[in-house]
Amino acid sequence: MDTANRDRHERNLREALTTLVERCPVLAETVYWAGTSAVSMEELGHRQSLDLDFHTRSALMDVRPILARIRAAFGGDFELIQAPDEFGSGFRGVIRLSRGERVTIEVLSNYQDVPDDQLVASNVVAPLRRVSLTKYLSDKVQCIAERNEARDLVDVCAVLRRRPDLEQLARRRVAEQDGLLMAERLLRWTDAEILSDLKSYRDASLADAQWTRDTFMRWLKAEASGAEEKT
């Protein structure tokens, strides 16, 4: 994404955030701004994220009342594209901004409570809180273990290069995963597979993804060697 388009997209995200919180103050009370858009816009600036993600601060919260508030506040300027399930665990929609631009939002119910110390105040919208860099890093390690998205490798690299002091946290999170399953996930990420998966993310670097893959593999090998020595 070129600089002009990136700047325009970030302006749209900022307008969407501000408008959402102004029209639906309940958002700032019940959810936090999650995902790469929050961390990239406010801290790392490492890649563009196209959507706004919000997660509930309380576990297993029914998000249908939030959806009702957004619908009432935006009327025809909100389009629901994925309805909540029978438990109200999440929804996805698009809001239309003042200039006709469209921004996709997703609201998901968390599977566990999120302590306040894992969140920080947003610089974009003061009442709103966002994911902290430490929680973002922990979540991304979990994502690498559970799904096949090369962008997660890029995101971990961005965090650790900006904050090398978080390496020990990352190593602990990697060690908490099933080592065999994590290794299998990483070994599937050949350079060709990474390149193919990152086609939609023009500002995401193959070299950054390679770095995380190779670093995690090195940590896993060190962990396995240490376990063997203890036995």
pLDDT one-digit tens code per residue, 135-147 = 999 999 999 999 9
Task: Identify the band that residue 64 occupies on the pLDDT scale cut at 50, 70 and 90.
Answer: very high
Closest listed residue to residue 35, CA positions, set 117, 106, 92: 106
Cβ atoms of 176 and 208 closer than 8 Å: no
Task: Identify the band that residue 226 occupies on the pLDDT scale cut at 50, 70 and 90.
Answer: confident
Strand partners, 32: 55
Cβ atoms of 56 and 109 closer than 8 Å: yes
Q: Which amino acid is at 131?
A: V
Where exactly are the structural domains of the chain? 3-131, 137-230
Cα distance between residue 83 and residue 24, in whole Å: 19
CATH of 3-131, one of 1.25.10, 3.40.50, 3.30.460, 3.40.630: 3.30.460
Average pLDDT over residues 28-43: 95
pTM of the full predicted structure? Answer: 0.92
Determine what percent of the chain is predicted with pLDDT higher than 70. Answer: 97
Reported in sequence order, the residue ranges of the chain that DSSP labels E, i.e. its strands, are 31-34, 52-59, 78-82, 90-96, 102-110, 119-121, 129-131
Average pLDDT over residues 66-85: 97
Residues with Cβ < 8 Å from 144, sequence gap 6 or more?
152, 153, 156, 182, 185, 186, 212, 216
